[in-house]
Chains A and B, each alone.
Chain A
Amino acid sequence: MKKIYIYIILSVGAVLALVPFYWMIATSLKTPVEAVRFPPTWIPTHPRAENYLNAWRTAPFGRYFLNTVFIALTVLVGVIVTSALAAYAFAKMEFKGREIVFTLFLGMMMVPMPVYIVPGYLILSSFGWIDTYYALIVPWLVNVFSIFLLRQHFRNIPKALYDAATVDGCSDLGFLWRVAMPLSKPALVTISIFSLLGSWNSFIWPLVMTNRDTIRPVQVGLAYFIQEQSTNYTLLSAASTFVILPVIILFFFFQRQIIESHMKSGIKE
C-alpha cells in the first residue's frame, strides 16, 4: 500500500478523534440560540466567553476543583509512602510468609472495582464516613499496582550499594529515601501519573459516597450540573471544557511519559 493512503486513513481517524472535542468547544462559544440551530454552524458566528463565566457561577465549581485537588494530592502522597515502604519490605527484606503476603496483595488486583461499591458503601456508612473526605481518600491510599511496580525497581538495586550505604551508617529508611527512591524515578513518574489521572477522573466511587455539594469532587459536580441544566448545551459544554482542561494541559506537557506509562501497564503480565 502506498504511504499516501496510510496518511489519508490516519488523518481521517485523527479528525474523528478530534471532532467531538471541537464540537464541545464550538458549542461552548455559541449563543443559546445559535447552538440549537439546524443545520448547525461549524464556526460560532459571534464567539463569546460568557458561557464559561455563567457555568462557573451557576454551580460551585471552585469548590469542586479544590476538593479534587486536595483529594488527588493527599492520595498521591499516601500512595507513594505506602507503596515505597511495602515494596521495600517485599524487595529487600527476608521474612517468613513474604511470598504469601505478596501473592495475596496481587490477588486483590483481580477484584473488579464495581464489586466494591455495595460493601464499600455499607462499611463506610457504619464508620459514619459517607459525605466526608475520609471516604474519598482513605480507601485509595494503597495501590497494589504501584507496590508491584516499585518492588520490581527496588529488586534491581545491587546489594553492593546497600552494603556500602549501611557500612557508612545509613539506616534502612535512610537507604530507601536517599538511594532507592531516587533510583526509581521512572516508576515514581508512572505511579504519579496513574494516581493523579485516576483521582481527577474518578466518578462512580465519589458518586456513591457523597451527597453534599461541599464535598463533591469535580466529576461528580459536573455530572449533577449536567443533570440539572439538562438542555442548556452551551453551559454544559463550557463546564465540561474547563473540567477537562487541567488533564489536557498535563497531557500535552507529559504526553511521552503518560503514553509510555500506559504502555508499561499493558505489558506487565
Chain B
Amino acid sequence: MGERNSFIRPILYLLPAIIIIAVFRFLPILYVTRVSLYKWGMGGAERFTGLGNYLRAFSDLYFWQSLTNTMWYVIFVVPLTIFFSLLVALFLNSKIKALGFYRTTYFLPVVTSIVAVSMIWKWIYHPRIGLANYILSVFHLPLQRWLSEWRGVFEIMTGRDLPNVIAGPSLALLSIIIMMVWKSIGYNMIIFLAGLQNIPRHYYEAAEVDGANRLTVFKNITWPLLSSTTFYVLIMTTIVSFQVFAPIWLMTGPPAGGPLGTTNVLVYYLFDVAFNYSSYGYASALSMILFLMILSLTVLQKRVVERRVYYE
C-alpha cells in the first residue's frame, strides 16, 4: 500500500458522510450565524445590522414571555419526569412478576407520534365535554378550562391575582406539561432501569445482613450509586424540554401559543417569527440564543461526567 493510496481510500469511504454533514449540518450553523447579523426578509439580506437582532430580543416582550414560559415548562417537566420515572424504575427493579408487561405499557407513549398524542389529549382537555373535566366532576371538583385557561396555576390555587413572575405557568401550559410528562416517563424509566441494574448486588446483600430498611438502602446505596444516571437524565430531559414545539403548534390557539401567549415557548416563537412574519434574520438570532443555552448545558454535562470518571 503506497502513501497516496492510504490517504485516498479513507477519504472515499468518508466522502458521502462528509458531504452531507458539511452541507446539512455544518453549513447551516455558519449560515444561521451570518443571517442573524442581517435584517433578512423574504427577498434575502436587506442590510447588515451587526448585533441588532440580538439587542432586539433583549427589548422584545414576546421573547421574554417565551423565555419565561420555556423556563416554567422546564422547571415543571424535568423534576416531575425524574420523580415518576425513577419511582416506576425502582418498583420494576424489585423482582416483580409481569415486568415485561409493565415495561411495555409504560413505554407505549414513547413510541407514539406526538401528533396523535396531542390530538387525543386536546380531546381529553375539552373545556365542556372532555374526559378530564368528567373525572373532576366525578370527584365534585371545580371544572377547568384547561387549554383555554390563561390564569397562572398558583393564581387558580390561591384564588387571587398574583404578579406575573409568581403566578406560575398558565393552566394551559400545565396541561401540556402533564401530557409531556406522561409521554416521557417510559423513556427515562428505561434509562433508570439500566442504571439500577448496574449497581452491584453485593451492596444490597450487605445492607440486608445489616437489617437496613428500604428507605435507608435507597438513601445510602441506590441514590448515590445512581447519581451519574440521574445526572444524565436531568441534563437530557432539560435539553429536550428546551426544544418543545409540536404540542404548542398542535394543541393551542388559534393563534398557537395562546391563550394570551401563555404557551408561547422559545422554539414556537422562533418558528412564528420565521414563517409567519418572514423575519429570518431575527429568527436566526433567536436560534443562536437557543443554541448557546443548550450548548452550555451540554458542556456542563461533559465537564461533570469527565470529573467523575477522573476520580473513579
Enumerate chain A interface residues (CB-CB to B < 8 A).
1, 3, 6-7, 9-10, 13-14, 16-21, 23-24, 27, 36-40, 81-83, 85-86, 88-90, 93-96, 98, 101, 105, 108, 110-123, 138-139, 141-142, 144, 147, 172, 197, 200-201, 203-204, 207-208, 219, 222-223, 226, 233, 236-237, 240-241, 243-244, 247-248, 251-252, 255, 258-259, 262-263, 266-267, 269
Closest to B246 in A: A203
Enumerate chain B interface residues (CB-CB to A < 8 A).
6-7, 9-11, 13-14, 16-18, 20-21, 23-29, 31-32, 35, 88, 91-92, 94, 96, 100-117, 119-121, 123-124, 128-129, 131, 134, 137, 182, 185-187, 190-191, 193-195, 214, 232-233, 236, 239, 242-243, 245-246, 249-250, 267, 270-271, 274-275, 280, 283-284, 287-288, 290-291, 294-295, 298, 301, 305
Closest to B298 in A: A110
**Is the CB–CB distance between B134 and A39 below 8 Å?**
yes
Name the B residues within 8 Å of A9 (CB-CB).
91
**Is the CB–CB distance between A114 and B298 below 8 Å?**
no
Task: Kindly state the separation between the CA atoms of A17 and B91 in the bound complex, as whole angstroms.
Answer: 16
**Is the CB–CB distance between B120 and A240 below 8 Å?**
yes
Name the A residues within 8 Å of B115 (CB-CB).
203, 219, 222-223, 226, 240, 243
* 25 interchain pairs, CB-CB under 8 A: A17-B106, A17-B182, A19-B131, A21-B108, A21-B120, A24-B119, A82-B17, A83-B17, A85-B13, A98-B10, A101-B18, A116-B28, A118-B32, A119-B31, A139-B24, A141-B16, A142-B25, A203-B246, A207-B249, A219-B114, A240-B116, A244-B113, A263-B190, A263-B191, A266-B233
Name the A residues within 8 Å of B20 (CB-CB).
82, 138-139, 141-142
Name the B residues within 8 Å of A14 (CB-CB).
101-102, 105-106
**Is the CB–CB distance between A105 and B29 below 8 Å?**
no
Contact of A24 among B29, B120, B185 (CB under 8 A): B120
Name the A residues within 8 Å of B13 (CB-CB).
85-86, 88-89, 93
Q: How far is the CB of B45 from chain A (nearest CB, A)?
A: 11
Task: Kindly state the separation between the CA atoms of A117 and B129 in the bound complex, as whole angstroms.
Answer: 37
- Contacts between the two chains (Cβ within 8 Å), count: 258
**Interface SS of B by simple majority:** helix
If A13-B88, A40-B129 touch, whether A121 touches B274 (CB-CB below 8 Å) is: yes
Closest to B271 in A: A117
Contact of A86 among B16, B26, B295 (CB under 8 A): B16
Task: Kindly state the separation between the CA atoms of A119 and B151 in the bound complex, as whole angstroms.
Answer: 36
Which of B17, B214, B288: most chain A Cβ within 10 A?
B17
If A3-B96, A6-B96, A93-B13 touch, whether A243 touches B116 (CB-CB below 8 Å) is: yes
Name the A residues within 8 Å of B9 (CB-CB).
89, 93, 172
Which of A112, A248, A255, A262: most chain B Cβ within 10 A?
A112
If A14-B102, A141-B20 touch, whether A251 touches B134 (CB-CB below 8 Å) is: no
Name the A residues within 8 Å of B137 (CB-CB).
39
**Interface SS of A by simple majority:** helix
Name the A residues within 8 Å of B291 (CB-CB).
111-112, 115
Contact of B274 among A18, A118, A258 (CB under 8 A): A118
Given A89-B14, A108-B25, A262-B187, list of 17 further CB < 8 A pairs?
Answer: A10-B92, A20-B124, A21-B120, A36-B129, A82-B17, A85-B13, A112-B294, A113-B243, A114-B267, A116-B25, A119-B29, A119-B287, A123-B24, A201-B114, A240-B115, A259-B190, A262-B191
Q: How far is the CB of A209 from chain B (nearest CB, A)?
A: 11
**Is the CB–CB distance between B120 and A112 below 8 Å?**
no
Q: How far is the CB of A11 from chain B (nearest CB, A)?
A: 8
**Is the CB–CB distance between B106 and A13 below 8 Å?**
yes
**Is the CB–CB distance between A38 and B129 below 8 Å?**
yes
**Is the CB–CB distance between A269 and B305 below 8 Å?**
yes
Closest to A261 in B: B190
Task: Kindly state the separation between the CA atoms of A259 and B293 in the bound complex, as whole angstroms.
Answer: 30
Task: Kindly state the separation between the CA atoms of A250 and B26 in the bound complex, as whole angstroms.
Answer: 34
Contact of A119 among B101, B191, B284 (CB under 8 A): B284
**Is the CB–CB distance between B274 and A112 below 8 Å?**
no
Q: How far is the CB of B244 from chain A (nearest CB, A)?
A: 9
Task: Kindly state the separation between the CA atoms of A241 and B31 in the bound complex, as whole angstroms.
Answer: 40
Task: Kindly state the separation between the CA atoms of A144 and B102 in the bound complex, as whole angstroms.
Answer: 32
Name the B residues within 8 Å of A37 (CB-CB).
129
**Is the CB–CB distance between B17 and A10 below 8 Å?**
no
Contact of A18 among B88, B94, B108 (CB under 8 A): B108
Task: Kindly state the separation between the CA atoms of A122 and B117 in the bound complex, as whole angstroms.
Answer: 30
If A123-B27, A200-B113 touch, whether A114 touches B243 (CB-CB below 8 Å) is: yes
